[in-house]
Amino acid sequence: MGLQTYWTKRDFKKTPEPRGSPRKRARTGWSFVVQKHAASHLHYDFRLELDGVLLSWAVPKGPSFDPADKRLAMQTEDHPIEYGSFEGVIPKGQYGGGTVMLWDRGTWTPARDARKDLARARLKFTLDGNKLKGGWMLVRTRGGKYGEKKADRTWLLFKENDAYAKAGGRPIVDVAPDSVASGRTLDAIASARAHVWQSKLSVKQN
């Protein structure tokens, strides 16, 4: 997809999100990040690095270690790699306005050829993150339930049955709700915003 849609949706004079650019050089290991995003509705943005961008899905309930939990994952626009280190506040009125937390991050490894898997809309992979581990699947659904218009971007994210799988119990989003980068809660990130912006202003003033 590239970053055109990402850029079109945002005004970089008004949001602290990175503008970013597609990465051309090959990197060792592919990154993944899950950002907890308190926008109009709380959701988890699940992002996998591939071909210089972060492929992205919005997962309303967040990932689950229970293989029986098939989580709705709506594919969204590709994001720049730099987005994977963004934690902060998107101003009200801007696209996706609200607090963004780095909920988990690490590396991912496709089980097969990732590009072929994506073309077949059936991506099998392992995650090595701080919170998320083991085998996972992203599978595109075939229309119906969520309407024809959205059918092409409606996927399900679920855990594979392996040593990391866990049926029942408290969901990982509740067991480990805070930032993997800073240990902060959503509220702490939201209230730190004023401080960060003030420090930038005071640099200019001094």
Q: Does 45 bind Mn ion (CB under 5 A)?
A: yes
CB of 58 to Mn ion, least distance (A): 5
Instruction: Return the residue nearest Mn ion (CB atom).
Output: 37
Alpha carbons 58 and 77: distance in angstroms, whole number = 10
37 binds Mn ion (CB under 5 A): yes
Compute the distance between CA of residue 170 and CA of residue 154 in angstroms, rounded to an integer.
26
Residues in the chain: 206
Query: Amino acid letter at 201?
Result: L
Considering only the stretches 35-43, 141-149, 172-180, 196-204, report the one whose residues sit in contact with Mn ion under the rule CB under 5 A. Answer: 35-43
Give the range of 43-51, 104-112, 129-137, 186-194 binding Mn ion by CB under 5 A. Answer: 43-51
β 133-140/98-110 pair status: unpaired
Distances (CA, A) of 99 to 46, 78, 92, 183: 16, 19, 10, 15
Number of residues lying near Mn ion (CB under 5 A): 2
Output phi, psi for 35, to 5 deg: -110, 125
Rule CB under 5 A: is residue 36 a binding residue for Mn ion?
no
Supply the minimum distance, in Å, between the C-beta of residue 33 and Mn ion: 12
- Measured from the CB atom, the residue of 31 and 126 that comes closer to Mn ion is 31
For the bound state, the minimum distance from the C-beta of residue 43 to Mn ion, rounded and expressed in Å, comes to 6
Contact 117, 123 (CB under 8 A): yes
CB of 160 to Mn ion, least distance (A): 25
Applying CB under 5 A, which residues contact Mn ion? 37, 45
